[in-house]
Structure 1
C-alpha cells in the first residue's frame, strides 16, 4: 500500500506541474483556443483527479467451471493528465488504484490439501493511455490500451501470495495484466462524469494444478466496468 501511495503522490505532483505556468485555471469550451490554432492551449490540456465505482468479473473458456458466480463490487481512484492536439483530439494517460476481483466457487487439491475458494479480491495499479475524441463540445469518447500491475490478492478475506513460491495451493496469479479500455465522458464546468469498460487479455490465474472434478480454472481474464466522477483543471 505504501508503494501505491507513493506512485499516486508522484503522479499528482507531475500533473500539478502542468498548471504552474498557467494564467487560466478552470473549464473551457472546446472552441476556446488561442487564435483557433488548438495545441496545448486547448481546454483539452490539463490535469485532474477522478474516482468511482467498479463492477468486475472474469470472462474466458473456463469461467463455466466456477459455480455460483457473481460480480464483484468495489472502487477505483487516481489522477490523470491530458494533452490536446486540436479541438477534437487529445491523449489522456492515467494512474489509478483499482480494487476488483470475482466471485465463483472452486475447489483446489494439492496432495492431501483440499481448499474451496468463493471470492477473490485483486488490487491493481492501472495505467491506461487513452485517445480522446470530442463528439460534442462537452461529450467525448475514450479508447486505448491499458497495463496493470497486480499488487495484492485476497481469497475469502485472507491475503495470498501472488507468485507460486510458498503457495500451498500450487497455482499463481499473473502479476501483469494488459488489455483495452473504451468509454464515454461528459463535462459540466470543471466536473466530469463517465463510464468505461476494460477487457483484460492476460490470464488471471497461472500454473493451475489438479482441481476436484478435473475442471481447469486458469483460462479466465479480467472484465471491468467503471463509473466515475472527477474534477479537471485546464492548463
Structure 2
C-alpha cells in the first residue's frame, strides 16, 4: 500500500506542477500482459513460457503542442513467466507483480495515430509461485524492490476518447538483488490495452 501511495504521489504530484500551463486529460486503461524474463541467470526463456496476466491503471495526458504530449501513468502489472505449462491452462507461474509508473512522450503522427516512448519505474508489490493446487510465497528480500525500465509503443486514439495501445517494456534492473553482468535477469513485457481519456 505504501508503494501504491508513493507511485500515485509521484504521478499526480508531477502533473500538478504544470497544471496551470496545460489542459490536462485524465484517463483509465486496462488490458492483457504477455511477460517473460530475459538474461543469462537461467538461460534465455522461450516465448512459449510467457505468463499471461493483466494491467490496470490510470493516466494523465498533458498536451504540449497539437502533436506532442507527455503522459504519466500509474498501473498494476502482472509479470513473470510460466514455470510449467499444461494443456488444461492450469499453469504454474512465477509471479512478479508491480505498480509501474512510466512517463511517456507521445507524438501524434496523423489524427489519432501516435508513437510513445519513455522511462518507467516499477515497485514490486508481490512475488510468488502459483500453481493449480498451491501458492508459495517468495522472500521479497531476494528481489529488487524497484525495477527501472524503458517503454516503447504505438496506439490509436478515437474521436470521443477511447484508445487502443500496444507497448513493449524492457527492464534494465536485475530482478534478483545483488546480481549484475551476465547473471542479470530482467523483465520483458508486451502489453495490449484498451483505455479511455476524458477530454
Q: TM-score, normalised by structure 2?
A: 0.79
Cα distance, 1:191 vs structure 2: 0.5
Establish whether residue 160 from structure 1 lines up as the match of residue 138 from structure 2. Answer: yes
Q: Contact 1:205 / 1:218 at 8 angstroms: preserved in 2?
A: no
Equivalent in the alignment of 2:176:
205
Equivalent in the alignment of 2:89:
none
Equivalent in the alignment of 1:175:
145
Rg larger in 1 or in 2?
1
Cα distance, 1:72 vs structure 2: 0.4
Separation of aligned partners in 2, 1:190 and 1:128: 20
1:4-19 aligned within 5 A:
none
CA deviations on 1:93-117 (whole Å, 9 max, x unpaired) are 0001111111247xxxxxxxxxxxx
Cα distance, 1:193 vs structure 2: 0.7
Separation of aligned partners in 2, 1:11 and 1:161: 27
Q: Contact 2:33 / 2:79 at 8 angstroms: preserved in 1?
A: yes
Q: Contact 2:38 / 2:45 at 8 angstroms: preserved in 1?
A: no
Equivalent in the alignment of 1:75:
54
Pair 1:68–1:201, CA change in 2 (3 A)? closer
Equivalent in the alignment of 1:221:
186
Establish whether residue 232 from structure 1 lines up as the match of residue 197 from structure 2. Answer: yes
CA deviations on 1:112-145 (whole Å, 9 max, x unpaired) are xxxxxx6310110100000000011111111000
1:186-205 aligned within 5 A:
186-188=156-158, 189-205=160-176
Separation of aligned partners in 2, 1:75 and 1:129: 20
Q: How many residues align?
A: 184
Cα distance, 1:60 vs structure 2: 1.2
Cα distance, 1:61 vs structure 2: 2.3
Equivalent in the alignment of 2:88:
none
Picking from 103, 107, 110, the partner of 1:136 is 110
Q: TM-score, normalised by structure 1?
A: 0.68
Establish whether residue 40 from structure 1 lines up as the match of residue 22 from structure 2. Answer: yes
SS in 1 for 2:189: strand
Cα distance, 1:5 vs structure 2: 6.6
Cα distance, 1:85 vs structure 2: 1.0
Q: Contact 1:8 / 1:78 at 8 angstroms: preserved in 2?
A: no
Separation of aligned partners in 1, 2:7 and 2:150: 22
Cα distance, 1:6 vs structure 2: 5.3
Equivalent in the alignment of 1:54:
33
